[in-house]
Amino acid sequence: MRTKIVAGNWKMHKNAEETEDLLNELINKLPNDKEVQIIVAPTFINLASAVEHLEFTNIGVAAQNMHQAENGAYTGEISADMLQSVGVNTVILGHSERRAYFGETDAIISFKVDTAIKHNMSVIFCFGEELKDRQDKQHFNIVENQLRDGLFHLDKTSWENIVLAYEPVWAIGTGETASPEQAQEMHEFIRETVRKSYGNDIADNVSILYGGSVKPDNAKEIFGKPDVDGGLIGGAALKADDFAAIINAI
Ligand code: PEP
196-246 pLDDT, tens digit per residue, is: 999 999 999 999 999 999 999 999 999 999 999 999 999 999 999 999 999
Closest Cα to atom 2, ligand 1: which residue? 234
- Residue to mutate (ligand 1; options 215, 232, 239; most atoms within 8 A of CB): 232
Average pLDDT on 140-159 reads 97
Write down the pLDDT at residue 176: 82
Contacts of 85 (CB under 8 A, 6+ apart): none
Residue 173 pLDDT level (bands cut at 50, 70, 90): confident
At 136 the pLDDT is 95
Bridge partners of 9? 41
Q: Is 94 in the pocket of ligand 1 (CB under 6 A)?
A: no
Of the listed ranges 67-71, 148-152, 171-175, the least confidently predicted one is 171-175
Catalytic-role residue among 67, 95, 139, 187:
95
In this structure, the residue with its CA closest to atom 7 of ligand 1 is 234
Is residue 8 within 6 Å of ligand 1 at its C-beta? no
pTM of the model: 0.97
Closest CA to 44 of 25, 16, 2, 71: 16
pLDDT for residue 99:
96
> Letter for the amino acid at 44?
F
Strand ranges (E), 134-237: 162-166, 208-211, 230-233
**Residue 139 pLDDT more than 90?**
yes
Q: Is 168 touching ligand 1 by the criterion CB < 6 Å? A: no
153 catalytically annotated: no
User: Cα(234) to centroid of ligand 1, in Å?
Assistant: 3
Considering only CA atoms, which of 52, 38, 35 is closest in space to residue 88? 52
**Structure confidence by residue, pLDDT tens digits, 76-125:** 999 999 999 999 999 999 999 999 999 999 999 999 999 999 999 999 99
| Mean pLDDT, all residues of the chain | 96
Annotation says 144 is catalytic: no
What mean pLDDT do residues 152-181 have? 94
- pLDDT given at position 174: 84
**CB under 8 Å to 75, separation ≥6 — which residues?**
none
Is the per-residue pLDDT at 1 higher than 90? no
pLDDT digits (tens, 9 = 90+) for 43-56: 999 999 999 999 99
Instruction: Tell me how far the alpha carbon of residue 209 lies from the centroid of ligand 1, in angstroms.
Output: 12
Which atom of ligand 1 sits closest to the CA of residue 235?
A: 9
* Side-chain half-sphere exposure of 225, counting CA atoms within 13 A: 23
Q: Residue 232 C-alpha to ligand 1 middle, in angstroms?
A: 7
CB 218: neighbour CB atoms within 10 A? 17
